[in-house]
């Protein structure tokens, strides 16, 4: 499938979404990879992961970049050579990238029952309690919170950040599709504007650091 969706967030920020319907071979033939990307691809254990990786390169091409424009720092955070900010996520059938002049983070998660089991590891007790009393939205809300924490982590990208103790989400309603979040870590408080959407059985969260 070609590009699944493009979300124009503002004049300098865009989200590109690829729904992976192609075979590995078709994706592989459609992209040009540098040597260390080829080595990374060969080292991946599952074909699903490989296709997610290749679909990210399809999205880069869609945005006018190639794999040669992308590099990673020692923490695994992706960067573009022209200094535009990039954030990447992939989950089963979809790959997404966000490009912006702001400090951005994006996360895509499949909504699953499993999240209930780990809720207390990453979300505040009061929030989990509130969600438990509204079972229709329990999984949806928890998946948003999880996505926010992953996306905030992708912005700050620092060892020692605890999802539960350092990243806080403002109460929100699923149908409002936005909220704010705070990262309070080592003497620095960073505030984030958060947006989210449900795409098929997946939850997409994107955010940017306010004042960035
Ligand atoms: C880095 C992390 C956020 C990736 O999230 P994920 O849900 O596993 O995977 P996603 O598909 O959403 O994102 C993967 C992409 O994130 C990007 N990424 C990896 N490390 C990153 C980092 N340190 N900073 C920013 N982006 C990073 C990469 O682009 C990667 O894809 P690619 O290597 O194919 O280009 C996650 O693995 C992580 O380490 N989280 C923090 C650990 C933690 O505290 N866990 C929860 C405790 S309750």
> pLDDT tens, 107-151?
999 999 999 889 999 998 888 887 777 667 889 999 999 999 999
Q: What is the pLDDT of residue 131?
A: 73
The chain-wide mean pLDDT, for the chain, equals: 94
pLDDT at 199 over 90: yes
**What is the position in ligand 1's atom list of the atom closest to the CA of 86?**
29
Distance from C-alpha of 80 to C-alpha of 38, rounded to nearest angstrom: 18
Geometric angle at alpha carbon 193, from 192 and 199, rounded to 5°: 120
Phi-psi region of 84 (alpha: psi -120 to 50; beta: other; left: phi over 0): beta
The first and second tokens of residue 165, run together, are 């103790």
**What is the position in ligand 1's atom list of the atom closest to the CA of 88?**
29
The first and second tokens of residue 91, run together, are 């989950």
Q: Could you please report the per-residue DSSP string of 18-42?
A: EE--S-HHHHHHH----HHHHHHHH
163 CA distance to ligand 1 middle (Å): 13
Average pLDDT over residues 188-199: 96
> Which protein residue's CA is at the shortest distance from atom 37 of ligand 1?
150
Whole-number percent of the chain with pLDDT over 70: 98
6 CA distance to ligand 1 middle (Å): 22
Length of the chain: 212
* Phi, psi for 195 (deg, rounded to 5): -125, 150
pLDDT at 28 over 90: yes
CATH architecture label of 107-209: Alpha-Beta Complex (3.90)
* Range among 93-97, 136-140, 208-212 rated most confident: 93-97
**Domain boundary assignment for the chain:** 3-101, 107-209
11 CA distance to ligand 1 middle (Å): 26
Average pLDDT over residues 79-107: 97
pLDDT at 91 over 90: yes
Q: Examine domains 3-101 and 107-209 and report if their fold is the same.
A: yes
Q: What is the pLDDT of residue 86?
A: 98
pTM over cut 0.85: yes
98 CA distance to ligand 1 middle (Å): 14
Could you read off the pLDDT of 38-73 as tens digits, one per residue?
Answer: 999 999 999 999 999 999 999 999 999 999 999 999
Q: What is the pLDDT of residue 111?
A: 96
> Which protein residue's CA is at the shortest distance from atom 22 of ligand 1?
77
The number of angstroms, rounded, from the C-alpha of 72 to the middle of its chain's C-alpha atoms is 16
Geometric angle at alpha carbon 18, from 98 and 151, rounded to 5°: 35
Q: What is the pLDDT of residue 127?
A: 81
pLDDT band at 37 (very low <50, low <70, confident <90, very high): very high
Pocket of ligand 1 (CB under 6 A): 53, 56, 75-78, 88-90, 107, 121-122, 150, 153-154, 157, 163
154 CA distance to ligand 1 middle (Å): 6
Average pLDDT over residues 23-30: 98
CATH architecture label of 3-101: Alpha-Beta Complex (3.90)
pLDDT at 155 over 80: yes
Q: What is the pLDDT of residue 1?
A: 66
> Which protein residue's CA is at the shortest distance from atom 19 of ligand 1?
76
Average pLDDT over residues 73-80: 95
31 CA distance to ligand 1 middle (Å): 23
């Amino acid at each position: 499938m070609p590009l699944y969706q493009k979300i124009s967030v503002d004049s300098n920020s865009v989200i590109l979404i690829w729904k992976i319907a192609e075979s590995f071979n078709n994706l592989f033939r459609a992209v040009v990879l540098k040597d260390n990307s080829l080595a990374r691809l060969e080292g991946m254990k599952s074909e699903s992961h490989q296709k997610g990786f290749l679909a990210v390169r399809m999205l880069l091409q869609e945005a006018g970049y190639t794999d040669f424009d992308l590099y990673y720092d020692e923490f695994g955070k992706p960067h573009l050579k022209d200094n535009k900010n990039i954030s990447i996520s992939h989950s089963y059938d979809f790959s997404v990238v966000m490009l912006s002049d702001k400090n951005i983070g994006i996360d895509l998660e499949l909504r699953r029952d499993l999240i209930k089991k780990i809720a207390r590891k990453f979300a505040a007790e009061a929030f989990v309690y509130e969600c438990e009393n509204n079972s229709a939205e329990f999984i949806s809300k928890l998946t948003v919170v999880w996505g926010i924490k992953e996306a905030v982590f992708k912005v700050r990208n620092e060892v020692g950040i605890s999802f539960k103790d350092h990243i806080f989400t403002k109460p929100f309603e699923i149908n409002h599709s936005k909220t704010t979040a705070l990262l309070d870590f080592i003497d620095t408080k960073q505030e984030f504007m958060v947006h989210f959407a449900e795409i098929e059985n997946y939850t997409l969260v994107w955010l940017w650091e306010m004042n960035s």
